[in-house]
A and B are shown apart, each in its own frame.
Chain A
Amino acid sequence: MNIHIKNGRLIDPKNSIDAVRDVFIAAGKIAAIGVAPEGFVADRVIDATGLVVAPGLIDLAARLREPGYEYQATLESEMDAAVAGGITSLACPPETEPPLDEPGLVEMLKHRARNLNQAHVYPVAALTSALKGQELTEMAELADAGCVAFSQADAPLTDTRVLMRAMQYAATFGFSVWLRPQDSFLAKNGVAHDGEVATRCGLPAIPVCAETIALSTMLMLARETGVKLHICRISSAAGVELIRAARQQGLAVTCDVSMNHVHLSEMDIGFFDPNCHLVPPLRSLRDCAALRAGLLDGTIDAICSNHAPVDEDAKQLPFAEAEAGATGLELLLPLVLKWSELDHLQLSDALHKVTLQPARILGLDAGHLSVGAAADVCVFNLDTYWKIEPGALKSQGKNTPFNGFEVQGKVHYTLVDGQVVYQG
């Protein structure tokens, strides 16, 4: 199928394009930009006049809840949500039930996803068996089955020798290890940032040093083992500073932040809003500002949705008992656009954090619209303003701290491998 996307404002961070250009797609790939290739006959013409044409978004943390938590969400519902949000590739963390710790599970997930024919799914496998932090998974086998990285998800890995061995073994094969830094002893029972709000509300707290101590350990072990380390969902100013310093010393560590933490702080907990019970916890306004500064200076490479659909019953509980997490797939684009406006960024620089940069972290040749690249495209109207209403989301998770926020950016078309998989 040949598709001609015409008159759109093409934004391609990799190729530094931000101009009105036509895009020609053939055989699932970008065939030409600007001028039609010789003999090109469009089967379908998409009029993108007044719309932005960008690479499809790539999300580094999207829980699809399969296998094991189908009551919270299914592959069908969440893949629908992803493409409705302009996301064409997503990495799913291993915290399923059972966790993604053996090749059969990974193959099944990939197979299920492929049959849905929507976004590309890249499973991140468990670093340790059953995420218990004791024995290594069969990393090479898992990689053969299609895993792109190895992660401990939010499960504790307290034994530093196991952590070091896992990094050494991953480094042997050149695999990436993705970790969220949190000292499990310091974070024990904690549900909110150890600051003014937790003190007022009497919520069990997680101090910033829970992040920095674990992060320091990870950075030192990465230096020691030479592993490709990616830090997931940094939450504090001090954490950003540690990564900045490690980079300056030449360590090739990468890092992402959740979109929730770009926009929210502990203050948003208000009167115990369980939708603000997130992992990691929302920290102070100062931390939020430091995360945004880290995005601007490149210390933080990417923004993820940290999508975690939670069923309503699990949220209708007192703050500490409510299950942590927020839905995010359909909000990633508008919240990145909102951030772009708040921090006065070029649109291209903002989209960079959800296209090319996450592709690099995943080790994929994706997130750009060069000729010959897979035609994963998101076409959206930048100037459509809308109000976030949980009931209208396609995700089975309706839990969002952004309920009622006025945002901009509405997806009109999402293409994966040159196929229109969503039309809004």
Chain B
Amino acid sequence: MNNPQLNKHGELQHLLSTEGLSAAIMLGILERTASFVNVAAGSEIKKVPLLHGKSVFNLFFESSTRTRTTFEIAAKRLSADVVNLNIGSSSTSKGETLLDTVDNLCAMHADMFVVRHSSSGAAHLIAQHVAPEVHVINAGDGRHAHPTQALLDMFTIRHYKKEFHNLRVAIVGDILHSRVARSQIHALTTLGVPEVRVVAPKTLLPAMVENLGVHVYHDMAQGLRDVDVVLMLRLQHERMQGAALPSAQEYFKYYGLTEEKLAYAKPDAIVMHPGPMNRGIEIDSSIADGAHSVILSQVTFGSAVRMAVMSMLAGAA
């Protein structure tokens, strides 16, 4: 089966998932990200003209302020024209199908779509549908993938830990419903992290998750023991209604990241979170704001990663 993310020369055509990307492509994105960190940090160069004259459509079928904003900033720093569409509140509610919407925007000469959708596979569907000169970036589809988040996490890990091949990484929380977790797992295993763990109660783990190349833990003391990186996940409130968990309080007591639990990790462990955080549910404020936390660095690197991906897709040098 053809990899729908690559063109016939093996170059990145769309960014849909970290699964199926080679380590070389991922490292290429991270290298390019490094070169954009300065632009993103707003040093003397505010803008680069790499996407000058290109139109980037932020197609958000599911609301998100943070991710949409970082994509918007990234596109603008690359000098692209950016159009934001919150489709949840317009076309599809009037009966237009997803692909109708895409066709209409293609007719307006879109060069790139940044897509967020509540259904797994939505970005793949759009990528299969558009003309070959149009690029699709998956900004989160259902429970499936959120590749730019995972890539910025990889950039952050490399920034603090330098290498991947000697790390022990734990992903903690609602793996079952998390597109971030899936994308992190594929990225970490591809980049050569020798031990990736998931820590969660059984109700928040998908079937056969160990086949993704992770070790499964149900206990934080064991799961965090001697890890270098702790990747926390957001817990959605609706998990309580679906009988996946009894209460947020009990979850925090057994799976929330506190000083006490973090003490099991290596002394120089870093703590990450994709945001937005639920303080006191999956993470204690003292950790979120503490010395181990690199959560704000993740946010800073977020737009640089997205600049890297967009410029790579556009074929700009």
Contacts and interface: CB of A to CB of B under 8 A. Distances in A.
A318 B121 contact: yes
Nearest to B122: A318
Given A195-B207, A202-B144, A317-B125, 19 more contacts: A199-B206, A199-B209, A200-B19, A202-B141, A203-B144, A205-B206, A207-B207, A270-B1, A271-B124, A272-B121, A272-B124, A316-B97, A317-B98, A318-B98, A318-B117, A318-B119, A318-B122, A318-B125, A320-B142
B136 interface: no
Given A203-B120, A318-B119, A313 B144 contact: no
Interface residues of B, number: 27
Nearest to B208: A196
B145 interface: yes
B91 to A, nearest CB: 14
Contact of B97 (A194, A203, A207, A313): A313
Given A196-B211, A272-B125, A320-B142, A202 B120 contact: yes
B119 A319 contact: yes
Contacts of B208: 195-196, 199
A396 B138 CA distance: 33
Given A205-B207, A272-B125, A316-B97, A200 B1 contact: no
A236 to B, nearest CB: 13
B19 A271 contact: no
Interface of B: 1, 4, 19, 97-99, 117, 119-122, 124-125, 128, 141-145, 179, 182, 206-209, 211-212
5 nearest CB pairs, A to B: A272-B121, A202-B143, A318-B119, A202-B144, A199-B206
30 contacts: A195-B207, A199-B206, A199-B207, A199-B208, A199-B211, A199-B212, A200-B212, A202-B141, A202-B142, A202-B143, A202-B144, A202-B179, A203-B120, A203-B143, A204-B143, A205-B206, A205-B207, A271-B121, A316-B97, A317-B97, A317-B98, A318-B98, A318-B119, A318-B122, A318-B141, A319-B119, A319-B120, A319-B121, A320-B142, A321-B119
B117 A194 contact: no
A313 B120 CA distance: 18
B293 to A, nearest CB: 27
Contacts of A321: 119
B261 to A, nearest CB: 26
**Main DSSP-derived SS at the A contact region:** loop
A131 interface: no
Nearest to B182: A202
Contacts of A179: none
Given A194-B207, A318-B119, A319-B120, A202 B145 contact: yes
A245 interface: no
**Chain B CB within 10 Å, residue with most, of A198, A201, A318:** A318
Contacts of A203: 120-121, 142-144
A200 B182 contact: yes
Given A270-B1, A318-B120, A198 B182 contact: no
A271 B1 contact: yes
Interface string A201-232: 11111010000000000000000000000000
Contacts of B125: 272, 274, 316-318
B130 to A, nearest CB: 13
A194 to B, nearest CB: 5
Interface string A317-342: 11111000000000000000000000
A196 B213 CA distance: 12
B234 to A, nearest CB: 15
